[in-house]
């Protein structure tokens, strides 16, 4: 008879998505075991971009201090460059201002990271949790389940066979992993085309580490004679901004990643019909395709011969073909087995959405698993999980649409169409308001807002289903006036409830009646919410009018004022990133149209936004009923 070890959640795969699921489960107090077939983190950087939602997810695990000091750096601009040429400095026809904070999170729009370092910090969260455990060099060998448990066997590094039973299993083991390919696909799970375009192309992905030539190491390099320094040469040949090269003959994408001091560079180019991806990744083909981009015309510098960046200063870390497509599974959960990340959906490389989408999967799944694993009463887990992936598919569709739009611009093969595209976008940008709207990129569409369907966990009649804005704040009781993110105040580690109440007051005069309203809430039988944990915010400008002693001492630890961009720029939170541009400290109030009481889900989506305590009481009861 097999002896099964027990846990709440078994996670297969400890890439970014699996580690994120484990990290959030551990913070909530749900026991989980992660199995990963590799002995250690893969050193090859694969994904390199992360949007502001992804940064917010890392922040939620307490990793913000490492994001711009160790993991990576902000992307200043994303440039779309048209024409058949090899000039990385050609004027773009469209640019996204990805260093601004003009979004929904208070973060920059995008960052470029080193995936191995990102994964190392995610695993540090697992290592520090008493609820999470990572087991490396473990290969999954079987899965079966009944009405109450998932049973899995695996072999460890010694070849020993082991068995685990869990209330739920999460397959975060990628598009070729065991969970989907060998267990769920035979049961009817299919990876389907996610876009009508049926995008499906092979690209070659290069990772280079760039070393600086110097007058001592390369005395014949011609730019020394005209006053260029090694750093200036590096900036010339490997520009800081990320570029989408919309070359009709050979579309490509390139840019730096990691920290500036790492000097890492990614170049990806499409493999044309009739070409072999493996052959195109070889050195001789790389010279044909990529080297022209790092070779400058001598006339640019008043020289008679072309200038090529020294080949011996380029260290090749990766040169591999990859098949990119836009696809999503018909179901992301069946029974008690769940797919997330690349196991559930795959993205083309045009929007930096692969890892970010896995993070969204993880943070939305973790709180639902926490409810399912902690409930004292049987719950319809299949309905709750279906609601999770039906919500996620709405957000996924928007991310895919933005990604495919970028891809369409990059992959325009017709020269006339490319000419019309470039001149149309240039002419539109002659109008300042439209130029600014375009520069916001995907963030111009505003925060994600779900369309309600039966079973989705938010109240549409009370403005639920929208991603809640994050800004900066200062605790009124804090004499040092330390700036923090509002999420960190709302979901502080001292809080015990999954869902949180946020109170948005117009000024401090409204504080006393709001406290009386919260104190009068009927909280009998409430397990997911407590008015005693409500976080209260007032506008910074209203605090200047406040008379000392008016705020009751009992709430000083939960009362915050908004903070300005200038205050944030002087704080340690601004280390390694630009001063906020386009930031509005009134964004929380604006995003919920001035409603006063917000019930916030753990994934930072609004469950309900209420104007009165009667509405708040009703919403709280609906929440408990939904998960009881």
Closest CA to 620 of 392, 387, 448, 464: 464
The enclosing H or E element of 397 equals helix 381-410
Q: How do beta strands 337-339 and 161-171 pair?
A: parallel
Structure tokens at 285: 């083909």
d(CA 621, CA 387): 19
The answer to whether 59 touches 67, Cβ cutoff 8 Å, is: yes
Q: Which residues contact 75 (CB under 8 A, 6 or more apart)?
A: 49, 98, 99, 108, 109, 110, 111, 112, 241, 242, 255
Which numeric CATH code is attached to 5-48+114-190+330-410?
3.50.50.60
In the chain, domain spans: 5-48+114-190+330-410, 199-323, 449-626
Question: 330-350 burial, b if ≥16 CB within 10 A, otherwise e?
Answer: ebbbbbbbbbbbbbbbbbbbb
Structure tokens at 439: 């520069």
Consecutive 10-residue runs of the chain (628 residues): their mean pLDDT? 91 98 97 97 89 96 97 96 94 94 95 97 98 97 96 95 97 94 96 69 93 97 97 97 92 95 95 94 96 96 96 95 85 97 82 83 98 93 96 83 66 73 83 90 87 95 96 93 97 95 94 89 85 95 65 69 97 96 94 94 97 93 92
The radius of gyration computed from the CA coordinates of the chain, to the nearest angstrom, equals 26
3-state helix, strand, coil in the chain (%, to 5): 35, 25, 40
Domain 199-323 top-level CATH class: alpha beta
pLDDT at 328: 87
The answer to whether 182 touches 12, Cβ cutoff 8 Å, is: no
Closest CA to 472 of 482, 453, 486: 486
Q: Which residues contact 613 (CB under 8 A, 6 or more apart)?
A: 517, 518, 520, 521, 597
**CATH 3.40.30, domain 449-626, yes or no:** yes
d(CA 545, CA 509): 10
Closest CA to 32 of 60, 2, 6, 62: 6
The answer to whether 45 touches 317, Cβ cutoff 8 Å, is: yes
d(CA 245, CA 92): 9
Helices 511-519 and 613-626 cross at an angle (nearest 10°) of 40
Residue count of the chain, please give it. 628
pLDDT at 76: 96
The residue written with tokens 């004027």 in the block is 91
pLDDT at 465: 96
pTM: 0.94
pLDDT at 498: 96
d(CA 189, CA 180): 7
pLDDT at 304: 93
Give one DSSP letter per residue of 301-360, joined into a string: GT-SS-EE--GGGEEEEEEEEEEEE-EEES-SEETTEEE-GGGTEE--SSSS-HHHHHHH
Backbone angles phi, psi at 7, to 5 degrees: -150, 170
- Give the SS3 label for residue 584: coil
Q: How do beta strands 264-270 and 252-257 pair?
A: antiparallel
d(CA 266, CA 277): 17
Structure tokens at 241: 């901004």
């Amino acid at each position: 008879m097999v002896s099964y070890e027990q846990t709440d959640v078994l996670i297969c795969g400890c890439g970014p998505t699996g580690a994120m699921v484990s990290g959030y489960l551990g913070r909530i107090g749900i026991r989980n075991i992660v199995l990963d077939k590799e002995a250690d983190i893969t050193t090859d950087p694969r994904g390199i971009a992360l949007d502001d939602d992804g940064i917010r997810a890392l922040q939620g695990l307490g990793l913000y201090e490492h994001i711009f000091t160790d993991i990576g750096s902000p992307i200043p601009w994303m440039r779309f460059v048209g024409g058949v040429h090899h000039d990385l400095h050609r004027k773009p026809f469209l640019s996204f201002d990805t260093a601004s904070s003009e979004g929904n999170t208070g973060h920059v729009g995008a960052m470029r990271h080193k995936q191995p370092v990102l994964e190392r910090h995610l695993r540090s969260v697992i290592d520090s949790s008493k609820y999470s455990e990572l087991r490396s060099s473990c290969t999954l060998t079987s899965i079966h389940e009944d009405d109450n448990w998932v049973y899995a066997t695996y072999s460890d590094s010694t070849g020993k066979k082991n068995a685990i039973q869990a209330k739920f299993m999460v397959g975060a083991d990628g598009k070729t992993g065991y969970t989907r390919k060998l267990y769920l696909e035979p049961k009817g799970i299919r990876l389907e085309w996610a876009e009508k375009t049926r995008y499906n192309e092979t690209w070659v992905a290069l990772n280079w580490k760039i070393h600086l030539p110097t007058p001592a190491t390369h005395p014949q390099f011609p730019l020394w004679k005209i006053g260029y320094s090694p750093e200036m040469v590096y900036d010339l040949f490997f520009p800081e901004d990320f570029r989408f090269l919309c070359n009709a003959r050979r579309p490509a994408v390139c840019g730096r990643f990691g920290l500036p001091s790492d000097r890492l560079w990614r170049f990806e180019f499409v493999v044309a019909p009739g070409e072999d991806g493996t052959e195109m990744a070889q050195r001789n083909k790389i010279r044909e395709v990529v080297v022209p981009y790092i070779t400058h015309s001598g006339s640019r510098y008043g020289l008679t011969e072309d200038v090529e960046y020294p080949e011996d200063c380029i260290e090749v870390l990766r040169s591999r073909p990859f098949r990119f497509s836009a696809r999503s599974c018909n179901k992301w959960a069946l029974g008690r087995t769940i797919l997330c990340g690349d196991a559930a959906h795959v993205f083309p490389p045009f929007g930096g959405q692969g890892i970010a989408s896995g993070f969204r999967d993880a943070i939305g799944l973790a709180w639902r698993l926490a409810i399912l694993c902690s409930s004292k009463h049987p719950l319809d887990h299949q309905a709750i999980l279906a609601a999770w992936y039906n919500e996620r598919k709405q957000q996924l569709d928007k991310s895919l649409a933005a990604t495919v739009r970028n891809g369409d611009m990059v992959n325009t093969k017709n020269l006339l169409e490319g000419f019309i595209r470039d001149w149309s976008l240039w002419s539109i940008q002659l109008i300042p308001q439209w130029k600014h709207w375009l520069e916001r990129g995907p963030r111009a569409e505003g925060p994600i807002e779900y369309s309600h369907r039966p079973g989705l966990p938010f109240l549409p009649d009370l403005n639920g289903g929208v991603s809640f804005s994050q800004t900066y704040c200062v605790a009124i009781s804090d004499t040092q006036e330390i700036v923090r993110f509002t999420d960190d105040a709302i979901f502080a580690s001292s809080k015990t409830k999954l869902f949180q109440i946020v109170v948005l007051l117009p000024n401090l005069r409204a504080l006393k009646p709001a406290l009386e309203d919260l104190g009068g809430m009927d909280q009998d039988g409430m397990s997911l919410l407590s008015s005693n944990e409500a976080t209260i915010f007032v506008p910074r400008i209203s605090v200047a009018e406040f008379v000392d002693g008016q705020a009751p001492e009992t709430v000083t630890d939960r009362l915050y004022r908004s903070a300005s961009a200038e205050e944030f720029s002087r704080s340690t939170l601004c280390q390694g990133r630009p001063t906020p541009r386009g930031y509005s400290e009134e964004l929380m109030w604006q995003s919920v149209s001035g409603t006063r009481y917000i019930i916030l889900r753990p994934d930072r989506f609004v469950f309900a936004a209420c104007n009165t305590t009667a509405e708040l009481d009703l919403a709280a009861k609906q929440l408990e009923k939904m998960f009881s």
